[in-house]
Amino acid sequence: MSKSIEAIDLDVYYGSFLAVEGVNIRIEPRTVTAFIGPSGCGKTTFLRTMNRMHEVLPNATVKGQLLLDAEDIYASGVDPVRVRSKVGMVFQRPNPFPTMSIRDNVLAGFRLNGIRMGKAQADEITERSLKGANLWNEVKDRLDKPGSGLSGGQQQRLCIARTIAVQPEVILMDEPCSALDPISTLAVEDLIGELKEHYTIVIVTHNMQQASRVSDKTAFFNIAGTGKPGKLIEFDYTDKIFSNPSVQSTEDYITGRFG
C-alpha cells in the first residue's frame, strides 16, 4: 500500500484551453500534501488528473506523465477504472449513495467491482473501515439505515470509510471540509492525521490554517490572470511555506496581501 506520486511536465487541457501548465511535483508515500491557492488556479483540476477523474468531463485531456510509483497512469493501455480503484477520492460535498444503507455504502467499492464476499467478511470490512474513519461508534446500531440520514460531517466520514474500504494506495481529498461545521472539520482533520500512517494523502483546501495543521508539505498554485493557465509556484515543507516561503507571491497569498 501507499505509493509515491510524481508529475513530470504535466499540462491539463479542457478542449483547447490550457488549464494547468507544466506541473512537476513529487509526493512521497505516507505523507499529507496540501494544495493551496486562489480559486480557479487549477488545484482541483490537477488533483482530478491524479486519478483520471478529470476526463469524466468532456474534452478534458492531459499531456505529460503522472507516475504512481514508477507506473505512468497516462500510458496507453492503462484502464482509468483500475487507476481509480487504486487512487481513492473524497469530494467537496459529502456524497454517500442515497439509495444505499450505511453498510452498503461502505461496501460499495466491492459491490461495484463485482467482488462477492461472505457475510462475515463483509461485516469485518464494514467495521474496520468505519473504525478507520472514526465513525463506527456513531453508526454501529444503524448500519441498515440510509447513509443520507447522517449529519454532514458523518456523511463525509462515511465517504472516507467507503474510500478506505477498498484499500487504495493514495487518497485524494477535494476540499473535504468546506461543507462541514468546525467540529466535524476537526474530526476529519484528526482522521487525516491517522490515515497518514497507511496512505499517501493529497488534500485541496482553501483554509490555510487547515493546510498548516494537517499537512507535511504544501504546494502553492497560482494563476497569472483569467484565461491564463494555473501553475505550481512553490512546493516545500509546510513549515517553510508558512514561515519563510522562497517565492514572493506565495508570501503575499499566505499573509493575505494577495491581489
Partner 1 sequence: MSQTETRGSAVAQTTDTEQPPVDAPAGVPLDNRSGRFGDRLFSGISLAAGIVILVVLAGVAAFLIRDAIPAVVASPEELDRDTSFWGYVGPLVAGSVVASLIAILVATPVGVGIALFISHYAPKRLAQPLGYVIDLLAAIPSVVYGAWGALVFGAALVPGYAWLSEHLSFIPIFGPTHSTTGRTLLTAALVLAVMVLPIITSLCRELFLQTPKLHEEAALALGATRWEMIKAAVFPFARAGIVSAVMLGLGRALGETMAVALVLSPGPLTASLISTGNSTIPAEIALGFSEAFGIRRSELIAAGLVLFVITLVVNVLARLVVARYKDFSGAN
Residues lying near partner 1 in the complex (CB under 8 A): 51, 53, 56, 81-82, 84-86, 88-89, 91, 93, 95-101, 108-109, 111-114, 145-146, 148-149, 159, 162-163, 166
Q: How far is the CB of 50 from partner 1 (least distance, A)?
A: 11
Q: At what angle do helices 182-195 and 152-165 cross, to 10 degrees?
A: 20
**170, amino acid identity:** V
Contacts of 255 (CB under 8 A, 6+ apart): none
For partner 1, the closer CB: 30 or 86: 86
Q: How far is the CB of 174 from partner 1 (least distance, A)?
A: 10
For partner 1, the closer CB: 8 or 100: 100
Q: How far is the CB of 257 from partner 1 (least distance, A)?
A: 35
Q: How far is the CB of 85 from partner 1 (least distance, A)?
A: 3
Measured CA distances, 130 to 13, 208, 255 (Å): 37, 28, 38
Q: How far is the CB of 112 from partner 1 (least distance, A)?
A: 4
Degrees (nearest 5) of the Cα angle 167, 170, 176? 100
For partner 1, the closer CB: 159 or 214: 159
For partner 1, the closer CB: 91 or 136: 91
